[in-house]
Amino acid sequence: MESYRFRNNDQMPLFGLGTWKSEKGQVFDAVLEALKQGYRHIDCAAIYMNEDEIGEAFTKAFSEGIVKREDLWVTSKLWNTEHQREYVAPALKKTLSDLNLDYLDLYLIHWPVVIRQGVLSPKSADDFQSLAEVPISETWLGMTECVHAGLTRHIGVSNFSIKKLEQMLSEEIVPEMNQIEMHPLLQQKEMLAFCSEHHIRLTAYSPLGSRDRPAGLVKATEPDLFENNVITKISDAHSCSPAQLLIAWAINRGTAVIPKSVNPVRLQQNLEAASITLSGDEMEEIALLDKRYRYLDGNFWIVEGNSYTLENLWDE
């Protein structure tokens, strides 16, 4: 399994299991089965509301000798309601308690968006706070303190633009990861170049187009990656599924990728995709598909009267 190597020589497998939309009652079995199949990278988040069940799977896997803690990479994320410096460490400690772990390998700021503490589903401008009120630098100080306290070995961000990353390059700890939506229709080539230059790693979420996301986030006319002619042609040439081809594409670019599944057969198929090698010509053909198309465009953060817009969210 290919991996990222960090400055302290920690290694993160490029292929991992995403757990967004993995429901309680399913995620325990999915994580345990994935670990049995050889997955060694599990991506979590407090807002997924399933970390306690994932923690039960970890405990069972450790106790049965399926995997040792030191051989497993676990990522989680700070939710938008906990951005104040004094909230960061308690939020991480809650995640550790739910996951039954003593430390995380990687902790990310989930979004560059601040919601007032206690608000589960923001509906009005009053439910938000601006980045002027709670700047990323304050949140990042709390994240840095978590590293020094031994609560997490690495810290990073998610859904951050190049502009926002540039503003963090002089921090004591520069973000070590940016987890963003990436797939052939949203290739993020400028971000890939920027992060390579500054030794920031990239993880692709929604690499298959997030086909099972909540109905309210689905657009009526959005493109289907599984039906793209180039994707189906190249997947046929490799005798693999479009899903496997999309996973392989991400790893062949040198990025990490975290497809989600709770189905044992698909878990195995996804894992097998990590060993598919694409030719230079095939990678160039897929490169032409880029349309800067986001399946998760961030519209859910745009509420009349608050400070967030699509323009200042993505800085594009």
CA dihedral 235, 236, 237, 240 (to 10 degrees): 60
Name the nearest CA neighbour of 270 among 251, 237, 239, 247: 247
Tokens of 243: 């899903």
End-to-end CA distance of the chain: 35
- Rounded-to-integer distance, Cα 92 and Cα 82, Å: 10
Strands (E), 140-280: 152-158, 177-181, 201-205, 256-257
Helix/strand/coil for 115: strand
Contact between 74 and 101 (Cβ < 8 Å): yes
Helix/strand/coil for 107: strand
Tokens of 245: 């081809």
Catalytic positions, written as ranges: 48
Packing angle, helices 242-252 and 280-287, rounded to 10: 100
Tokens of 306: 């608050």
Contact between 216 and 251 (Cβ < 8 Å): no
Which of the 8 DSSP states describes residue 223? -
Q: How many helices (H) and strands (E) does the chain have?
A: 11, 12
Q: Which run of H or E residues covers position 17?
A: strand 17-18
- Rounded-to-integer distance, Cα 219 and Cα 13, Å: 33
- Rounded-to-integer distance, Cα 141 and Cα 151, Å: 14
